[in-house]
């Protein structure tokens, strides 16, 4: 698992092409997405990076722990409140980022199980199918339920989850 999430030759097989100075203190860039600084890399259990995208900076922490008969991957994506993030939050809630990571982890799961690369054209075509849209909607609703469990009122959280699903489904 550690190799799949940190090896620059494997990351594009399930996520996006990556470039940069891929060591602690170095900077990385995901093609067409975020870049940032690698602040911690302690194989095989901890990776911390900044996530710099669209003028915003947030932090991503990845932890790998032995669990039952495999490895548990835990990811925390932390963003401080500011005006831009607050507006985005009010529209989409936690699913805006959560669904993106869910889709990425689905690609990681397929890669780990098969060893194969996820072809971006096929992946995007799948997202447009009813199965892909169902996956997105279910992830969005699950994030909405988690938002309710954290204290948000039902109508607000469900509305945010619906907006997130529409965004990811291209509606």
Q: List every span in the chain annotated with CATH 3.30.530.20.
A: 1-80
- 3-state DSSP call for residue 66? strand
- 3-state DSSP call for residue 116? coil
Q: Which pairs from 9-12 meet CB under 8 Å and 24+ separation?
A: 10/111, 12/117
Provide mean pLDDT across the span 116-130: 91
What's the pLDDT score for residue 79? 87
CA 133 to chain centre: 17
What's the pLDDT score for residue 141? 97
For all residues of the chain together, what is the average pLDDT? 94
Q: How confident is the model at residue 109 (pLDDT cuts 50, 70, 90)?
A: very high
Q: Is the pLDDT of residue 37 over 90?
A: yes
What's the pLDDT score for residue 25? 98
CA distance 166 to 134: 11
Q: Specify the CATH number of the domain 1-80.
A: 3.30.530.20
Q: Is the pLDDT of residue 84 over 80?
A: no
What's the pLDDT score for residue 81? 75
Residue 74 exposure: Cα atoms within 13 Å on the Cβ side? 9
What's the pLDDT score for residue 144? 97
Choice among 50-64, 71-85, 93-107, 145-159 with the minimum mean pLDDT: 71-85
What's the pLDDT score for residue 129? 96
What's the pLDDT score for residue 56? 86
CA distance 73 to 14: 15
- List, for residues 70-79, the tens digit of each pLDDT value: 999 999 999 8
- List, for residues 47-63, the tens digit of each pLDDT value: 999 999 988 899 999 99
Q: Is the pLDDT of residue 137 over 90?
A: yes
CA distance 52 to 95: 19
Q: How confident is the model at residue 89 (pLDDT cuts 50, 70, 90)?
A: confident
């Amino acid at each position: 698992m550690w190799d799949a999430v940190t090896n620059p030759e494997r990351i594009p097989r399930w996520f996006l092409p990556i470039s940069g100075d891929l060591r602690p203190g170095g900077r990385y860039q995901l093609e067409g997405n975020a870049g940032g600084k690698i602040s911690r890399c302690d194989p095989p259990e901890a990776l911390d990076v900044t996530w710099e995208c669209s003028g915003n900076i947030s932090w991503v922490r990845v932890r790998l722990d032995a669990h039952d008969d495999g490895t548990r991957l835990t990811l925390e994506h932390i963003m401080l409140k500011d005006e831009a993030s607050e507006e985005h939050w009010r529209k989409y809630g936690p699913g805006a980022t959560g669904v993106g990571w869910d889709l990425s982890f689905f690609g990681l799961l397929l890669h780990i199980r098969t060893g194969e690369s996820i072809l971006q054209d096929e992946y995007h075509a799948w997202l447009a199918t009813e199965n892909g849209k169902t996956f997105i909607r279910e992830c969005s609703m699950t994030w909405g339920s988690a938002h309710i469990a954290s204290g948000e009122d039902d109508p607000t959280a469900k509305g945010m989850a619906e907006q997130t699903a529409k965004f990811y489904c291209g509606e």
